């Protein structure tokens, strides 16, 4: 194994560690919402600093590899992909932090009927599944698995499209719960963006493994 190969393996390991942390952040956010656990939500908010630290470290390591080894072909594509995946993971961490703050700021536990009709937990489960699957695709260089998340994202998009009418109907029937309904609407918007970040990551995996650029293409 060359020195470059060793550095690339270390970089991949760092990216996977960050990925697992972001997955944990999303899972904790879901748990804190269901149990209305403000302490767990605060933990998510505080742990965002760790996600940011990973992002900075990975960025520096990518820059060092460019400067010291001048990678080409698949090695170059891998480092470029990690740079973008790193950014997508950091943004996903920001989303978890944002939802965590909603939970911290809300005074009463969320209405169970609201969570059900808005399909928030279904969104959480789908987003977590997508994020875990692209991690496996990254580890195994499995582009077929990476492509599978494009269809899964349609579930998040459909829930998001129906959210305005669902939340408006809930508010009409429960005007005293306006604030938490708006928090849930914002949570839905954020979870839809998790799907977008995961799709971006999937595109980067396909780029580095197959040398195909999917960005802005309608047929993936």
pTM: 0.94
In whole angstroms, what is the distance from residue 60 CA to residue 52 CA? 13
Radius of gyration of the chain measured on its C-alpha atoms: 19
Q: pLDDT, tens digit, for every residue of 173-216?
A: 999 999 999 999 999 999 999 999 999 999 999 999 999 887 65
Q: pLDDT, tens digit, for every residue of 72-102?
A: 999 999 999 999 999 999 999 999 999 999 9
Answer yes or no: are the C-beta atoms of 96 and 25 closer than 8 Å. yes
132 HSE (CA, 13 A, CB side): 11
Domains and CATH numbers, the chain: 3-210 (1.20.58.220)
pLDDT at 220 over 80: no
């Amino acid at each position: 194994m060359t020195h470059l190969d060793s550095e690339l393996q270390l970089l991949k390991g760092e990216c996977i560690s960050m990925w697992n942390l972001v997955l944990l952040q999303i899972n904790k956010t879901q748990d804190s919402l269901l149990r209305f656990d403000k302490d767990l939500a605060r933990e998510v908010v505080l742990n965002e600093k760790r996600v940011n630290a990973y992002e900075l470290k990975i960025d520096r390591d990518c820059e060092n590899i460019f400067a010291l080894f001048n990678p080409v072909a698949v090695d170059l594509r891998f480092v470029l992909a990690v740079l973008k995946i790193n950014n997508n993971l950091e943004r996903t961490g920001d989303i978890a932090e944002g939802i965590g703050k909603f939970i911290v700021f809300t005074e009463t536990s969320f209405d169970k009927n609201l969570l059900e009709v808005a399909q928030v937990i279904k969104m959480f489960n789908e987003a977590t599944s997508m994020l875990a699957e692209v991690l496996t695709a990254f580890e195994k260089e499995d582009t077929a698995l990476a492509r599978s998340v494009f269809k899964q994202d349609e579930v998040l998009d459909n829930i998001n499209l129906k959210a305005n009418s669902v939340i408006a109907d809930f508010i009409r029937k429960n005007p005293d719960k306006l604030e938490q309904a708006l928090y849930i609407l914002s949570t839905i918007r954020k979870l839809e963006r998790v799907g977008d970040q995961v799709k971006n990551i999937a595109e980067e995996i396909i780029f580095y493994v197959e040398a195909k650029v999917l960005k802005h293409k309608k047929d993936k």
